[in-house]
Amino acid sequence: MRFLAASLAFLCLATPICAQKEKREPLTEAEVDKIRDAGSAPDERIDLYTKFIGEHAEVIKGLTNRAKSAARADRLNGELQDLTALMDELGANLDEYSDRHADIRKSLKSLSEATPHWLNILRALAGEPGFDLSRKESIESGEELADQAKRLLVEQTDYFRLHKDEEGQERAEPK
């Protein structure tokens, strides 16, 4: 009877632990530190995000031609979720830098050149039930990021044409 009670107690305690979902972290500790260190340098920070997103896209490309299996589908699903999270995070950073009129034209140019490559990788990946939703979300996020980068590049070019005294600044100071 004690064994049954102890087993039941163990199961009740173990269930919440198993039910907790592991939160994915798309970046390693070292990558997070690099981004944090570049916090005051918008161009550098955007370039780091561009680099890390490119690395995730290449991992996805490498998994594309592997034999279909449940493990491959799970890995692709996770990588696609990570890629989407990074693209969304970069988009939020772009919004912030744009709002404060940081001159990020240099990094926007390289980002605009990189996004079509990422989208080609995602579109070349045939959808499968194990990761099709994540694939579609990644494509949508990539398209939004590409549009945002192009739009901001045009806006910034126009803005800094009119405000030459603010060129190269990381934050426009109120006048």
* CA-wise closest residue to 91 among 150, 172, 23: 150
Where do we find the tokens 């173990």?
A: 14
**Is the domain 40-166 a CATH 1.10.3470 member?**
no
Q: Indicate the average pLDDT of the chain.
A: 86
100 pLDDT more than 60: yes
Using alpha carbons, list the distances in angstroms from residue 2 to 8, 12, 15. Answer: 10, 15, 20
Q: How confident is the model at residue 2 (pLDDT cuts 50, 70, 90)?
A: low
What digits encode the pLDDT tens for the residues 9-36?
555 554 444 444 467 889 999 999 999 9
pLDDT level of residue 1 (50, 70, 90 thresholds): low
Burial of 66 (0-12, 13-18, 19+ CB in 10 A): exposed
Stretch 55-67: mean pLDDT: 94
Record the tokens describing residue 157, joined without a space.
């070019």
Of 21-25, 41-45, 141-145, the one with minimum mean pLDDT is 21-25
Question: Where does the pLDDT of residue 150 fall: very low under 50, low under 70, confident under 90, or very high at 90 and above?
Answer: very high
What is the rounded CA–CA span in Å between residue 95 and residue 147?
13
| pLDDT given for residue 166 in this prediction | 76
